């Protein structure tokens, strides 16, 4: 079975999507439509901006989404049998499997980015990568800390990201190292995504998601929150709202997709991060980049 996976924030690079814009009339029209919807020329930043401009959350999230979705729409033999996306990538996956329209997906991603930016400004929060420590140990250390810190991204075995209040994350990092972590590094991110610190953003985004039409998907989506195949539009909507404050179960999702018959994982969008993670989750898994 063909599985298509879509990357999240962090996969962006200057020049992303430019070749699509120049070589496909469909891609060009979709990029121009995106400029109209967003109210600024995101293509100028994507193609020729600075790394600083591209790193702004309100730019990064729509940019990664646009690159992924427009690339999927220009692929000749795009017939997904299962899809998944990492964090923000779940929105790209939902456009690719027909749940959301291009326009609605982009509007939600833009609102999500702005809501997350606001939540980050309310209280300082951050994330940290923890390497070579078992999931259970990471979870137990987080639970022992006074303050908000949780496991946020289960990226692959031995690579977890924790998220929460700045001081709690710093303290957890110290304890992780004492417990034998190879590394516990604060990440250069805007805030504590996929943790209770995003509650203000979740409330804001929930209203926008509730007001958006979700259609029946053409194939199941393996959602971050459940790590299982979901085909019911209402259930997809509910899980998407929870996603902002819940962990990204990427390792669990990939394992479930393989158990359900995935034979080839094709990464659609900027970078090759997900293909790398999938290779670490299962060495036998076949991966490709669109």
- As annotated, the active-site residues are 87, 194
Task: Indicate the helix (H) or strand (E) that contains 230.
Answer: strand 229-230
In DSSP notation, 127-192 reads EEEEES--HHHHHHHHHHSSS-EEEEEEEETTEEEEEEEHHHHHHHHHHHHHTT-SEEEE---SS-
Give the CB-side neighbour count of residue 98, counting CA atoms within 13 A: 13
Report the interhelical angle of 199-210 vs 102-122 (nearest 10°): 160
C-alpha distances in angstroms, 166 versus 117, 126, 143, 149? 16, 6, 15, 9
């Amino acid at each position: 079975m063909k599985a298509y996976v879509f990357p999240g924030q962090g996969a962006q690079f200057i020049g992303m999507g430019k070749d699509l814009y120049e070589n496909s009339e469909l891609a060009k029209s979709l990029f121009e439509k995106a400029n109209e919807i967003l109210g600024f020329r995101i293509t100028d930043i994507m193609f020729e901006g600075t790394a600083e401009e591209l790193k702004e959350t309100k730019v990064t999230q729509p940019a990664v989404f646009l690159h992924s979705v427009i690339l999927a729409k220009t692929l000749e033999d795009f017939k997904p049998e299962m899809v998944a996306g990492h964090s923000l990538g779940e929105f790209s996956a939902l456009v690719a499997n027909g749940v959301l329209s291009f326009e609605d997906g982009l509007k939600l991603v833009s609102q999500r980015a702005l809501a997350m930016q606001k939540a980050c400004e309310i209280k300082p929060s951050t994330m940290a990568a923890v390497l070579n420590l078992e999931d259970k140990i990471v979870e137990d250390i987080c639970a022992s800390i006074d303050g908000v810190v949780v496991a946020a991204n289960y990226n692959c075995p031995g690579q977890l990201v924790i998220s929460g209040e700045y001081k709690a994350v710093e303290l957890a990092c110290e304890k992780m190292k004492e417990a034998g972590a190879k590394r516990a590094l604060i990440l250069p991110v805007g805030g504590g995504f996929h943790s209770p610190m995003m509650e203000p953003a979740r409330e804001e985004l929930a209203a926008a998601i509730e007001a958006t039409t979700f259609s029946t998907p053409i194939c199941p989506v393996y959602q971050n929150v459940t790590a299982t195949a979901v085909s019911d539009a209402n259930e997809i909507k509910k899980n998407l709202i929870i996603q902002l404050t819940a962990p990204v179960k990427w390792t669990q999702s990939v394992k479930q997709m393989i158990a359900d018959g995935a034979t080839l994982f094709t990464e659609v969008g900027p970078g090759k991060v997900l293909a790398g993670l999938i290779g670490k989750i299962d060495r036998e898994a076949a991966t490709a980049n669109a």
